[in-house]
Structures are given as C-alpha cells and as structure tokens.
Amino acid sequence: MRTGIRTTLAVAAAATLLGSVAACGTSDDDASASPSASSGSAISAERCEKNKAAGEITYLSGYQWQASASILEYAAADKLGYFKDLCLNVKLQPGTGDVAQNTKLLASGKVTFSPVSEQDILTANANGIKVQGISSYSNVGLEVLMTMPDVTDLKQLNGTTLGQKGAMPVGVQAMLVQAGADYKSIKQVVVGYDPSILPRGQVKSLTGFISNEPNQLKAQGKEVKVWRPYDYKVPGSLGAMAVNPDFAAKNPTAVEDVLRAQLHAFEYCETHAGECVAAAAKLTGAGYDEKANEGIWTTEVDTIRSSVPAGTPLGSVDTANVSSLVTMLNTYTGTKIVDADAQAEFAPQYVKNIYTGDKLIWPAP
C-alpha cells in the first residue's frame, strides 16, 4: 500500500536535509491569506519557548517533492515562513517512496513527521513499528483501477489481465470483490510505470493513483475510465500524517503547530498552486515538471474538498474510517488488528485543538 506516493515522475533525488528558507514577501492582496512575521512574533512568548524547546524537527516527505497533499504544503510552509512564525525548527528531507522505510525511521525517532496513510499506520503498528497517526485529509484513497471506457462493469474483468506495480492495492482488491468480480480469475502481472500499456491493450486493467496516471493519459489524449474504491464503500485515506509517538508525548504544542503550519499552507496553496509548486521545484532542482505537479496538486485538492463533509475541520481523524480500515485489512490481508488497539494508534486531539469550529486558528494562541 503506497498511498500518496507515485514513483512515476522523473524528479531529481535530493540526498541531504534541506534547511528552512526565509519567508517570502506577499502582495497586499495576499497578506491576509499568507501572513508572515519575524521569528516567533506570531505567537506568545511562552508558546514560542515551548516550540523552541522541542529542538530540531525533521519532516520526511513521501516521495521527493512531488506536489501531493501532505508534501507540497511542507515545501510551501517552509518557503512562506510559517514554521519560523511559530518558533519551529523544521528541517525538510525528501523521501524515496518507501513507506516501510519511512515508518521505521519515524518509529526510531530519526525523523519526526512523515506522510503515512492510515492503513499503513495500522499495518506498521501491527508489525511492531510504533508510529502515531495525527491527521488525514480524506477517506478517499489515492489508489484506483483504470480501464478503457468500454468496460462498464467490473465483472467484465473476470479472466482478464490486470497490471500492478509489484503489490496489489488492498483497496482495489476489496473494490473488485465488492463489485462481484471473480477476483481469483483475474491474472495479475507486474508492470512498469508507463500507463500507455492500458490503451495499447497490453492489459485490460491497470492500478494507479488518481492524481497521476489518469492525468498522464489525458495529456496524451487517451480517454480511460477510473474506478475508485471509495465509490464501492471501500475505506481509504489521503494526505494522512504520522508522528514519532515519543516526540508527540513530550511536545504536544509543537505537534499542534506543525499541523497548524501545514494546514495554513494547504489553504494558501489552494489558491496559489503555481507559487507553491515553484517552491517544491526549487527544492528539487533540474528535472522537476511543474505543469504535471500542479496537475497532481489540483486533482488531490479537488478530491479532498469534494469528500470532506461540510463543517468538518480539514485534517480531522475519522475514527469510524479507522474501524473500517481495520475490517478491510483483517479481511483481505490476513492481519489480526484489534479495533480498540487501532484507535489508540491515532491522536485526533491535535487537529481538534487548532480549530474553532471548522476554521483554522492562525496564528497560534
């Protein structure tokens, strides 16, 4: 399960930690959307000292500086000076796309925050890798199945060939079963990262991510049908975040304010996508496709905003969704996760504490 990570984009790898950069200026029109201040001037002296006492905080991205939800906002928050405003010493590190490695680094304390899907948080903890979920944007997972438009019922895939990237996304498997397809009759083959194998007829169906392969094929003038597990009442998560549990226990104010800066940057990037993508491009260097990454960002934002119930604070942990994920993982992966244990692996209070109703409190109290 590689939610939020797509390894198909050609971006340059960055091997070292990237420090925070100075806050960029804003126009008068942008000032209300993007307040910036000198270090710590946006919060009380007491809160500032607590955040400074947390020390260096390392954020590890999911996959490089791809413009996915829970990645782009961190590049933007750093560029806009939001971490500095809250007296947070946040260092940015690009991830490789290896979710298992990210959870191990989180559990060991070598990194502090990282995007990890709710289902991957559950799986990690079930395997003794202790990480804590603190937020999630949406219950709509990124994994999808693509077919050509002539497929109108998933049962039409019985006995056909399905292309996947080395592991079958559990949500896609659950969707096929829920739709009444004969899952065992579908031949799975491992394929590369060129989605054009679908319109070329080399496979009948292809797994992918809602903000990646469909956009690539559309840019090539190829029309495909996208099947979302969410539409078959299969749970998922998009843009979920995890933290090292020991750090969170010792520094609850810093956890709140890292999320506060993230969510404030999300709101800013909704209307300043090009500027935020440019910040990610600067962190990456040569080879970063800004147009494709802006498409990733806008697709994910649209998915998030269309699925979050009115009045719900963005980033809230849906405990009912966690329970549904437990059931799905137990059913389709053979794990034995106890729901009560699973609920304890998530901490909804951090997001709750930074909102008044569904309005983010900025700056901190």
d(CA 172, CA 235): 10
d(CA 59, CA 94): 8
Residue 124 has pLDDT above 60, yes or no: yes
Strand partners, 58: 91
Residue 269 has pLDDT above 70, yes or no: yes
Residue 65 has pLDDT above 80, yes or no: yes
pLDDT band at 365 (very low <50, low <70, confident <90, very high): confident
- Concatenating the DSSP letter of every residue in 212-276 gives SHHHHHHHTT---EEE-GGGGT----BS-EEE-HHHHHH-HHHHHHHHHHHHHHHHHHHH-HHHH
d(CA 48, CA 36): 15
Tell me what pLDDT residue 42 has: 77
Residue 156 has pLDDT above 60, yes or no: yes
Q: Is 278 helix (H, G, I), strand (E, B) or coil?
A: helix
For 6-61, how does the pLDDT look when each residue is reduced to its tens digit (9 = 90+)? 433 333 333 333 333 333 333 333 433 444 444 556 799 999 999 999 999 999 99
Averaged over 167-177, what is the pLDDT?
A: 97
Tell me what pLDDT residue 39 has: 55
Spatial CB neighbours of 269, under 8 Å, sequence gap ≥ 6 = 72, 73, 76, 275, 276, 297, 301
For 226-260, how does the pLDDT look when each residue is reduced to its tens digit (9 = 90+)? 999 999 999 999 999 999 999 999 999 999 999 99
Averaged over 113-124, what is the pLDDT?
A: 98
For 71-91, how does the pLDDT look when each residue is reduced to its tens digit (9 = 90+)? 999 999 999 999 999 999 999
Tell me what pLDDT residue 40 has: 59
Q: Are the C-beta atoms of 184 and 272 separated by less than 8 Å?
A: no
Averaged over 94-121, what is the pLDDT?
A: 97
Q: Are the C-beta atoms of 279 and 172 separated by less than 8 Å?
A: no
Strand partners, 360: 355
Tell me what pLDDT residue 288 has: 97
Tell me what pLDDT residue 71 has: 98
Averaged over 260-287, what is the pLDDT?
A: 97
For 282-316, how does the pLDDT look when each residue is reduced to its tens digit (9 = 90+)? 999 999 999 999 999 999 999 999 999 999 999 99
- Domains of the chain (ranges plus CATH)? 45-139+237-360 (3.40.190.10), 143-232 (3.40.190.10)
Output the pTM of the full model. 0.88
